[in-house]
Amino acid sequence: MFKLFLTLLRGRAYEAEQQVLDSQAIPLLGQQIRDASAAIQSARRAVAIAVAQNEQEVAQHRKALARIADLETRAIVALEKGNDSLAHEAAEAIGWLEAECGASEKAQARFHASIDRMKTVVRAAESRLRELHRGERVARATEQTQKLDRSAGTLGLSTITEAEETLLRLRTRQQEIDSTADALREMDAGTDPSAIVEKLARAGCGAPLGPDANTVLARLRTRMNNAA
């Protein structure tokens, strides 16, 4: 019985852990991507350091070769002058430098192989990191869309529906106000004597209330003819 109880506790703990992971998956993914990005930056620095060290090794190798060439030239001169002892010292130095050059060449080969391997690993990691960034953006957008989808038929979309109904009522009310105002203006015009007189004058019934353009133009022509 105790064993079953412990098994049940482990099962519930596992389910609780999975629920936490599911609910916090997006923040967890973001932090994991940041951690991976930091690791890649460290790897890039390691590659840069390896390249710099290899360049130093190459420079030292060149110097050693130049010293060997110089010592060989001087040793030949010493032999020509019969100074075998000095030539022997030069030969010993040449042998030591040649051994150093051999070790340097092996080190450079190891550096090249290691650098190429590290560059391959870093490039592959950077490609995977870019894919993770794209996946994170899609996951965040999907999560927001799913939240909206889960709200369908509940508070979210019902609020939109209510807003649409409010807008329809507002537009209907505004149309009613405009129609009422137009009707009132027509009613006022129908009972106002001044408005009726103006309407009759415009229709040519009786004398005009004021000079119209034709009357003014006729008066100007008469004045022009009299002046001539």
> What CATH number is given for 2-150 in this structure?
1.10.287
Distance of alpha carbon 65 from alpha carbon 51, whole angstroms: 21
Distance of alpha carbon 40 from alpha carbon 43, whole angstroms: 5
Where exactly are the structural domains of the chain?
A: 2-150, 155-205
What is residue 24's DSSP assignment? T
- The pLDDT, as a whole number, for residue 140 is 81
Q: Are 21 and 14 in contact (CB under 8 A)?
A: no
- The pLDDT, as a whole number, for residue 63 is 93
* CA 74 remoteness from chain centre: 65
What are the residue ranges of helices labelled H in the chain? 2-23, 25-80, 84-150, 155-191, 193-202, 213-227
User: What count of other Cβ atoms lies within 10 Å of the Cβ of residue 189?
Assistant: 13
pLDDT tens by residue, the chain, 228 residues: 656 556 655 656 556 555 655 557 778 888 888 888 898 899 999 999 989 989 999 999 999 999 999 989 988 988 888 888 898 998 999 999 999 999 999 989 988 899 999 999 999 988 988 898 888 888 888 777 777 666 655 555 566 677 778 888 888 888 888 787 776 666 655 556 666 666 666 666 766 666 666 666 777 778 778 876
- The pLDDT, as a whole number, for residue 24 is 72
